[in-house]
Structure 1
Amino acid sequence: MVTMVKRQFPRPSEILELMHFKKPEFNAKRRRLASALTIHDLRDIAKRRTPKAAFDYTDGAAEGEISLARARQAFEDVEFHPSVLRDVSQVDMSCTIFGGPSALPFGIAPTGFTRLMHTEGEMAGASAAGAAGIPFTLSTLGTTSIEAVKEANPAGRNWFQLYVMRDREISYELTRRAAAAGFDTLFFTVDTPVAGARLRDKRNGFSIPPQLSLGTIANAIPRPWWWWDFLTTPKLEFASLKSTGGTVGELLDAAMDPTISFADLDIIRVIWPGQLVVKGVQSVADAEALAAAGIDGIVLSNHGGRQLDRAPIPFHLLPAVVKAVGNDIEVTVDTGIMNGADVVAAIALGAGFTLIGRAYLYGLMAGGRAGVDRAIEILTGEVERTMKLLGAHSVAELEPGHVTQLARLVPRRP
Structure 2
Amino acid sequence: MAGTLNLLDVTYADFRRKAERRLPRFLFDYIDGGSGTETTLRRNTADWEALQLTQKVLVDASKMDCSVELFGEKLALPLVLAPIGMGGMTSRRGEVQAKRAADKAGIPFCLSTVGVCPMEEVAKVSGTPFWFQLYMLKDRGIVQDVLSRAAAQGVTTLAFTIDLAVLGTRYRDFRNGMQGGLSPWGRARSGLIDYALHPGWLWDVGIRGAPHGFGNLAPYVKQSANPRDYLHWTGSQFDPSVTWQDIEWLRKVWPGKLVLKGILDLDDARAAVAIGADGLIVSNHGGRQLDGAASTAAMLPRIADAVGDRTTLLVDGGVRTGQDLVKALALGAKAALVGRPWVMALAAGGEAALTRYLAMVKQDMRTALGLSGAVNARNVGRGVLLGK
* TM-score tier after normalising by the smaller chain length: over 0.9
Equivalent residue number for residue 62 of structure 1: 35
Equivalent residue number for residue 282 of structure 1: 264
Inter-partner Cα distance in structure 2 for 1:192 and 1:405: 35
Given the alignment of the two structures, is residue 147 of structure 1 paired with residue 120 of structure 2, yes or no? yes
Equivalent residue number for residue 93 of structure 1: 66
Given the alignment of the two structures, is residue 252 of structure 1 paired with residue 234 of structure 2, yes or no? yes
* 1:45, distance to aligned residue in structure 2 (A): 0.9
Equivalent residue number for residue 252 of structure 2: 270
The TM-score, its normalising length taken from structure 2, stands at 0.93
Inter-partner Cα distance in structure 2 for 1:115 and 1:299: 23
Equivalent residue number for residue 188 of structure 1: 160
Provide, for residues 115-150 of structure 1, a one-character-per-residue CA deviation record: whole Å limited to 9, x for no partner: 222223100111110111100001111111111111
Equivalent residue number for residue 201 of structure 2: 226
Q: 1:37 aligns with which of 6, 10, 19?
A: 10
Inter-partner Cα distance in structure 2 for 1:185 and 1:381: 27
In 2, are the aligned partners of 1:130 and 1:157 still within 8 Å (CA)?
A: no
In 2, are the aligned partners of 1:40 and 1:338 still within 8 Å (CA)?
A: no
Equivalent residue number for residue 83 of structure 2: 110
Does 219-228 or 98-107 show the bigger shift?
A: 219-228
Q: Are residues 276 and 217 of structure 1, via their aligned partners in 2, closer, same or farther at CA, if it must alter by over 3 Å?
A: same
RMSD: 1.8
Equivalent residue number for residue 334 of structure 1: 316
Inter-partner Cα distance in structure 2 for 1:404 and 1:175: 44
Equivalent residue number for residue 93 of structure 2: 120
Provide, for residues 40-88 of structure 1, a one-character-per-residue CA deviation record: whole Å limited to 9, x for no partner: 1110111111111111111011121111111111011111112211121
Inter-partner Cα distance in structure 2 for 1:219 and 1:112: 21
Amino acid in structure 1 at the alignment position of 2:251 = R
* 1:405, distance to aligned residue in structure 2 (A): 7.4
Equivalent residue number for residue 203 of structure 1: 175
Given the alignment of the two structures, is residue 159 of structure 1 paired with residue 131 of structure 2, yes or no? yes
Given the alignment of the two structures, is residue 240 of structure 1 paired with residue 216 of structure 2, yes or no? yes
Amino acid in structure 2 at the alignment position of 1:93 = C
Amino acid in structure 2 at the alignment position of 1:179 = A
Q: Are residues 266 and 196 of structure 1, via their aligned partners in 2, closer, same or farther at CA, if it must alter by over 3 Å?
A: same
Q: Are residues 255 and 400 of structure 1, via their aligned partners in 2, closer, same or farther at CA, if it must alter by over 3 Å?
A: farther
Inter-partner Cα distance in structure 2 for 1:209 and 1:167: 27
Paired residue secondary structure (1:241): helix
Inter-partner Cα distance in structure 2 for 1:36 and 1:158: 27
Count of matched residue positions in the alignment of Structure 1 and Structure 2: 377
Provide, for residues 306-347 of structure 1, a one-character-per-residue CA deviation record: whole Å limited to 9, x for no partner: 111112211111111111111110000000111211111011
Inter-partner Cα distance in structure 2 for 1:195 and 1:252: 12
Inter-partner Cα distance in structure 1 for 2:327 and 2:259: 22
Inter-partner Cα distance in structure 1 for 2:31 and 2:371: 32
In 2, are the aligned partners of 1:345 and 1:403 still within 8 Å (CA)?
A: yes
Paired residue secondary structure (1:156): coil
Equivalent residue number for residue 312 of structure 1: 294
Inter-partner Cα distance in structure 1 for 2:208 and 2:301: 48
Paired residue secondary structure (1:396): helix
Amino acid in structure 1 at the alignment position of 2:11 = T
Amino acid in structure 2 at the alignment position of 1:265 = I
* 1:220, distance to aligned residue in structure 2 (A): 3.4
Identical positions, percent: 36
Paired residue secondary structure (2:216): coil
Q: Are residues 28 and 241 of structure 1, via their aligned partners in 2, closer, same or farther at CA, if it must alter by over 3 Å?
A: closer
**Structure 2: 5+ residue runs without aligned partners?**
224-228
Equivalent residue number for residue 109 of structure 2: 136
In 2, are the aligned partners of 1:108 and 1:137 still within 8 Å (CA)?
A: yes
In 2, are the aligned partners of 1:133 and 1:156 still within 8 Å (CA)?
A: no
The TM-score, its normalising length taken from structure 1, stands at 0.87
Paired residue secondary structure (1:166): coil
In 2, are the aligned partners of 1:128 and 1:372 still within 8 Å (CA)?
A: yes
Does 172-181 or 255-264 show the bigger shift?
A: 255-264
Paired residue secondary structure (1:333): strand
**Structure 1: 5+ residue runs without aligned partners?**
1-26, 407-414
Provide, for residues 86-127 of structure 1, a one-character-per-residue CA deviation record: whole Å limited to 9, x for no partner: 121331111111232211011100001112222231001111
In 1, are the aligned partners of 2:82 and 2:109 still within 8 Å (CA)?
A: yes
Does 90-99 or 360-369 show the bigger shift?
A: 90-99
Equivalent residue number for residue 226 of structure 2: none
Given the alignment of the two structures, is residue 79 of structure 1 paired with residue 52 of structure 2, yes or no? yes
Paired residue secondary structure (2:10): coil
Instruction: Name which one, 1 or 2, has greater alpha-carbon Rg.
Output: 1
Amino acid in structure 2 at the alignment position of 1:298 = L
Q: Are residues 28 and 319 of structure 1, via their aligned partners in 2, closer, same or farther at CA, if it must alter by over 3 Å?
A: closer
In 2, are the aligned partners of 1:287 and 1:325 still within 8 Å (CA)?
A: yes
In 2, are the aligned partners of 1:130 and 1:155 still within 8 Å (CA)?
A: no
